[in-house]
Structure 1
Amino acid sequence: MRKMGGKKLHAIMIGFFYQGHIAPFQNLAIKLASSGCAVTFAHNEFVHHMLSKAEGVNVEKADPFLVARRSGLDIRYATISDGFPPDFDRIVNLEQHWEAIFLDFPSRVDKLIGDIIHKDDEAFAHFLVADTFYPWPASIARKYNILNVSFWTQPALMFATYYHYDLLVEKGYLPIKGDEVESKDPAFNTSITKKIVAEAFEQVKQADFILINTVYELEHELVSDMHHNQPTYAVGPLNFTTDVALPKSLWAEADFTSWLDSKPRGSVLYVSFGSLAHSNRQLAEEIANGLLLSGVHFVWVIRDDPQVLPDGFEDESKDQGLIVSWCNQSAVLSNPAIGGFLTHCGWNSILEAIWCGVPMICYPFFADQPSNGELVVDVWKVGINLCDGTSVDRREVAEKIKQLMSAESSNSLRDEMNKMRALMLRALDEDGSMQANFLQFFNDLWDRAEARAEEAEEEVDSD
C-alpha cells in the first residue's frame, strides 16, 4: 500500500446508469479501496432510488457501501442528479435523456468534483474514474488537473473497434450495414447512439489510463495493441473479485432456489435477454413454443412485459418452467440444476456463464452483443446460435435447446467451457493476470501522480 507522507490517492468515481455497468463499477471501487485508495463513489439519484427500492431500504438512509466501510475500507458515498425525476423512463426517452447527459449533466459533475477536491485536504492527489461512454471526463479532468481513468465494461474487442472506427471505415471493414451495425431493437438504431459512441471515443483518447473489464488471457493481443496507444490494462473479471455485500440490482429479485433444487442436475435452461433488450410478441411466441416443444425445464426472465407471451402459455408451461421478472443471475447460473443459458450476449452475462461453466445459446440484439456472440460461438466455441437464418422459428428453437441440454450432443461445448472456466479462475489467483495487471496500473497511477506533483512544485518555485 503506497502513501505519500501518510496521504492517499483519492478516486472520484461517477457511476453509470445502466444495469450492466453497476456491478463491475462498484466492484472496481472496492478493489481501489482495498488497494489503499480513498474513494468517493457517486451514483445517479435515480439509480440510488432503484437500488434502495429493490433492497427494500429507506431511500434517505440507503448507502450501498455501508458494509464495505464497516469492514475498514475508505469509501464515501454521494448521489448526483441527471436532471430528471426518479420515475422518468430513461429507456423509452433515450434521446431526451442522453441530450441532457451531453448538455446539463457535465456541469453537475463539475460542481460535485470541485466540492470534493475543495473539502479534501487529506489526499495526496485526486483522480477521476468514469465510464468510457460518458462524454465529459477529459474536459473536467483537465479543468481540475487530475488524472483521468476511463473504465470500459465491454470486451476489448468492442473497445478496439470503436477506438479505430475511422480507420476501419477507411479500410472498408465498416460500416457493416448502411451507416451502423444492424440492431434487433429499433430503439437503439438512432442517431443519438452514434453520437454517444463518437463523443465517448473522442474523450477516451485523452484519458491517462484505460481499464477494461476483461480477462487478459482471452483478449491479450487486443489489450497489448491498445497499450501501445495509451496505458491500457485488462483488470477483469471484476464481477467476482469481492465478497463485500453490495446492492447491485435495479429491480427486486425473485428467489426460486427451492424450485431449482428440486430439479435434476443440468436439467434447467435459464433464459434471459438482460435489462435493456425488449422482447417483441413474435419473438416471445416462437421461443415460448420452442420451449414447450423441447420439453426442457426452464426459468425465463421477462423484465419488460410478460404480456408479450402467447395467451395461455403460463398455464400450459406451469409444470415445465417458471417466468420471473428479475433474479440474481449469478446465483441462478451457479445452481447445479442449470444446464444451459439462452442469452442476449451481454458481456456480464457471458462472464457469469463462463464463471459458472454454463454453455450458451446466443441471440444478440444490439451494441456489443453481436460481436460477443461471435466470440462465444466462433472463437471460444462455448455456445451455439439460436437460429442459423434471419428469423426465429419454434422448431429450430426446440432443436437448439435439445442440442445444448443433451449431455451427449454438447460434450465438446462443455469441454471447452471447462477450459475457459479454469482460465478465468487462474486469472483471479493471487499471482494471476488480474491482480498483476491491477497492481501495474496502480503503480503507474502513483508514478504519474507523483510526477504531476513534482511539476506543480517546480511551477510554484519558479513563480
Structure 2
Amino acid sequence: MAEKHILLVTFPGQGHINPSLQFAKRLAKHGVKVTVLTSTSATARMSQTLSPSFHSLIDVVSFPTALPLSTQDFPKFVEDLSDRGTKAVEDAVAAKRADGRPYTRIVYNLLMPWAARAARRLGVPFTLLWIQPAALFGVYFHYYNKNFDPSDEVIELPGVPRLRRGDLPSFFMETNPSVYSFVIPTLIDNFEILDGEDERATVVVNTFAALEAEALRDLDKYRLLPIGPLIPSAFLEGADPSDASFGGDLIQKFDDYMQFLESAERESVIYVAFGSYSELPRSQTEAIAEALVRIRRPFLWVVRDSEEKEKLSCKEELEKRGKVVNWCNQVEVLSHPSVGCFVTHCGWNSTLESLAAGVPVVALPQWSDQSTNAKLVEDLWRCGVRAAKEEIVEADEIVRCLEMVMDGGDESRKMRKTAKKWRDSAREAVDDGGTSQGNLSFFLDQIVGGG
C-alpha cells in the first residue's frame, strides 16, 4: 500500500492547534503520516510534548508571518497569514510531488479556507476539520442560506434550542469589534468551497454523535463525520496512557497544582479557567475573586497574567482557601476526582473537555462561539448553568450559580448525573466499535484511501 500522508493546516491559536494535533494523533495510530502546518508565531512558543510513539508519524512545520498573532493589527495578520500560508501550502505540495510521495489529502480548520482553495488549484483532495460543535456549523450554514436574520429577537433552527439574539456568536452582534469583521465572511467562505465540490462534501467534526444527533441529522447536505472528542486518550477512553497532553502548549504550565488537588475531598474543588485567548476586564476578575472568597470552598484558578494575580484586592484571603496558577494541563485537572465544578468561558475545547470528564459547568461566556455553547450546556445538554447575561457578571450572580452546582440539592444532583452520562457517552464514542471510531475508519477508508 502506498504511503498515506496528510497535510493538516491549522490557525496558530491554542484552541485550533489542540484539536488539530489530537486529530493528527488519531490518524497516526492508523499508520497515516501527518504534517501539521501553522505559522512560526505558534511553533516558536510551542512546547514539543508529543509522546515518543507519535514522533515518527507526525511532523510540525511552520512558515513565517510578518506579524505575530498577538499583534494589535489583527486584520493585517490574517491577510498576511493567508498570503504566506497559501505559498507554504503550494511549496509543500510541490516538494512532495518532486519527491515522488505526494500528499494524499489536505485537511484545514475553519479559519483557513484559503488552504482548501490552494488544494483545489493544485488538484489535491481536501477536507474541512470543524473544531466547533455541529450546532454552530448549523448556525453558520443557515445564515449562509439566509434562513434567519441575526437581528431577529428569537431564532429557531433545527438541532438547537430556541435562541435569543444574544445567544448567537458575538461576530453577529452590532458590538463586534471591527478587527473581527473578517470572521463571518471567512466562515461563509467554507460553505462556498464545500458547495463547489463535485460530490457531497465531507466534514470531520470535533463532537460525538450522541451529543448532537439532531444537529447532525439536519445537515445532511454534507457528510458530517463526528470523530470527537479530540482529547488525549489518557483522559478519555484510556487506550493509550502515554497520550497525556495535546502536545503543543503555547504557554508554560505551572506544575505544583496536583498536590493541592490530591489533598482535596472528592468533587469539592471549583476549577476556574478562561482559555488561552480570553482576557477578562479587571472588574470581572475582581468579581470572580470575591465570589471565590464568599463561597468558602477550595478552588484552583488559572490567572494567566501574573501581574493581574498580584493586584487582586483579596489576594491573601484567596490564598488561604485555594490556589491561583498561571497555567495547567486542563484535561488533567478536569479528570481529577476532586474537581466538582468548572467555571469557564465555554470555548468549545473547554466545553467538550468538561463533557468528556463529566464535570458540571458554570458558564461565563465572553465572545465568539461561547454564548451559543453556554446555551447548549444549560438548555440542551443540561449539565451546567449560565450566569446572567451582563457585561460584567457580579459576585452575587457567580455565587448563586456556584451554589446551584455545588450545594448537593436536587438541581445539583441532576446536573452531576447528566454530566456523567455525557462522559460515558464520549468514552463509548471513541472506544472500539464506537460511533467516532467508526467515522474515523470511514474517513480513512473512503476519503484517504481514495485520495
For normalisation by structure 1, the TM-score amounts to 0.84
107-116 vs 323-332, which deviates more?
107-116
Whether 1:95 and 2:87 are equivalent positions in the alignment is no
CA contact (8 A) 1:183 1:189 kept: no
Unmatched tracts of structure 2, length 5 or more: 153-164, 234-239
CA contact (8 A) 1:266 1:340 kept: yes
Opposite residue 445 of structure 1, the aligned amino acid is: I
- For the residue of structure 2 that corresponds to 1:263, the secondary structure is coil
Distance of aligned partners of 1:188 and 1:116 in 2 relative to their CA distance in 1, 3 Å threshold = farther
User: Take 1:281 and 1:353, find their aligned partners in 2: how far apart are those partners?
Assistant: 26
Residues 22-421 of structure 1: matches in 2 within 5 Å?
22-52=17-47, 67-69=52-54, 73-84=56-67, 88-90=68-70, 92-119=72-99, 121-122=100-101, 126-167=104-145, 169-172=146-149, 176=165, 180-182=171-173, 190-206=180-196, 208-226=201-219, 228-241=220-233, 243-244=242-243, 247-255=247-255, 256-304=257-305, 306-307=307-308, 311-387=312-388, 391-409=392-410, 410-421=412-423
User: Take 1:339 and 1:386, find their aligned partners in 2: how far apart are those partners?
Assistant: 17
Distance of aligned partners of 1:249 and 1:393 in 2 relative to their CA distance in 1, 3 Å threshold = same
User: Take 1:183 and 1:295, find their aligned partners in 2: how far apart are those partners?
Assistant: 39
Q: Which residue of 2 aligns with 1:56?
A: none
Distance of aligned partners of 1:187 and 1:261 in 2 relative to their CA distance in 1, 3 Å threshold = farther
CA contact (8 A) 1:293 1:395 kept: no
Fraction of identical pairs, as percent:
27
User: Take 2:420 and 2:211, find their aligned partners in 1: how far apart are those partners?
Assistant: 14
- For the residue of structure 2 that corresponds to 1:162, the secondary structure is helix
CA contact (8 A) 1:288 1:309 kept: no
User: Take 1:25 and 1:253, find their aligned partners in 2: how far apart are those partners?
Assistant: 20
Unmatched tracts of structure 1, length 5 or more: 53-62, 450-463
User: Take 1:133 and 1:224, find their aligned partners in 2: how far apart are those partners?
Assistant: 24
Distance of aligned partners of 1:90 and 1:201 in 2 relative to their CA distance in 1, 3 Å threshold = farther
Q: Deviations over 1:91-123 (max 9, x none)?
A: 64322211212334322322222222322x245
Opposite residue 219 of structure 1, the aligned amino acid is: E
Opposite residue 28 of structure 1, the aligned amino acid is: F
CA contact (8 A) 2:130 2:205 kept: yes
418-427 vs 373-382, which deviates more?
418-427
Distance of aligned partners of 1:202 and 1:303 in 2 relative to their CA distance in 1, 3 Å threshold = farther
Q: Which residue of 2 aligns with 1:460?
A: none
Opposite residue 441 of structure 2, the aligned amino acid is: L
CA contact (8 A) 2:12 2:42 kept: yes
388-397 vs 414-423, which deviates more?
388-397
- For the residue of structure 1 that corresponds to 2:203, the secondary structure is strand
User: Take 1:10 and 1:266, find their aligned partners in 2: how far apart are those partners?
Assistant: 43
**1:372 to partner: Cα distance:** 0.7
CA contact (8 A) 1:284 1:309 kept: no
**1:155 to partner: Cα distance:** 0.3
- For the residue of structure 2 that corresponds to 1:164, the secondary structure is helix
Q: Deviations over 1:7-66 (max 9, x none)?
A: 1222111232111122211121122222232222223222211113xxxxxxxxxx6557
Opposite residue 123 of structure 2, the aligned amino acid is: N
CA contact (8 A) 2:106 2:126 kept: yes
**1:271 to partner: Cα distance:** 0.6
- For the residue of structure 1 that corresponds to 2:301, the secondary structure is strand
Distance of aligned partners of 1:171 and 1:41 in 2 relative to their CA distance in 1, 3 Å threshold = closer
Distance of aligned partners of 1:139 and 1:76 in 2 relative to their CA distance in 1, 3 Å threshold = same
Count how many residue pairs are aligned between Structure 1 and Structure 2. Answer: 424
User: Take 2:172 and 2:298, find their aligned partners in 1: how far apart are those partners?
Assistant: 34
Opposite residue 338 of structure 2, the aligned amino acid is: A
User: Take 1:199 and 1:80, find their aligned partners in 2: how far apart are those partners?
Assistant: 23
Distance of aligned partners of 1:325 and 1:407 in 2 relative to their CA distance in 1, 3 Å threshold = same
- For the residue of structure 2 that corresponds to 1:229, the secondary structure is coil
Distance of aligned partners of 1:363 and 1:122 in 2 relative to their CA distance in 1, 3 Å threshold = same
Distance of aligned partners of 1:188 and 1:263 in 2 relative to their CA distance in 1, 3 Å threshold = farther
**1:299 to partner: Cα distance:** 1.3
Q: Which residue of 1 aligns with 2:12?
A: 17
Q: Which residue of 2 aligns with 1:452?
A: none
Distance of aligned partners of 1:68 and 1:114 in 2 relative to their CA distance in 1, 3 Å threshold = farther
User: Take 2:61 and 2:53, find their aligned partners in 1: how far apart are those partners?
Assistant: 15
- For the residue of structure 2 that corresponds to 1:40, the secondary structure is strand
**1:404 to partner: Cα distance:** 1.5
Opposite residue 115 of structure 1, the aligned amino acid is: A
**1:330 to partner: Cα distance:** 0.9
User: Take 2:49 and 2:324, find their aligned partners in 1: how far apart are those partners?
Assistant: 29
CA contact (8 A) 1:50 1:250 kept: yes
CA contact (8 A) 2:302 2:324 kept: yes
Q: Deviations over 1:382-418 (max 9, x none)?
A: 0011226665221222222122222235111111112
User: Take 1:183 and 1:264, find their aligned partners in 2: how far apart are those partners?
Assistant: 45
User: Take 1:244 and 1:310, find their aligned partners in 2: how far apart are those partners?
Assistant: 37
User: Take 1:138 and 1:206, find their aligned partners in 2: how far apart are those partners?
Assistant: 11
User: Take 1:137 and 1:421, find their aligned partners in 2: how far apart are those partners?
Assistant: 34
Distance of aligned partners of 1:17 and 1:77 in 2 relative to their CA distance in 1, 3 Å threshold = closer
Distance of aligned partners of 1:278 and 1:91 in 2 relative to their CA distance in 1, 3 Å threshold = farther
CA contact (8 A) 1:302 1:325 kept: yes
Q: Deviations over 1:264-312 (max 9, x none)?
A: 2222101111111111012112111111111121111122464277643
- For the residue of structure 2 that corresponds to 1:414, the secondary structure is helix
138-147 vs 304-313, which deviates more?
304-313
User: Take 1:435 and 1:111, find their aligned partners in 2: how far apart are those partners?
Assistant: 33
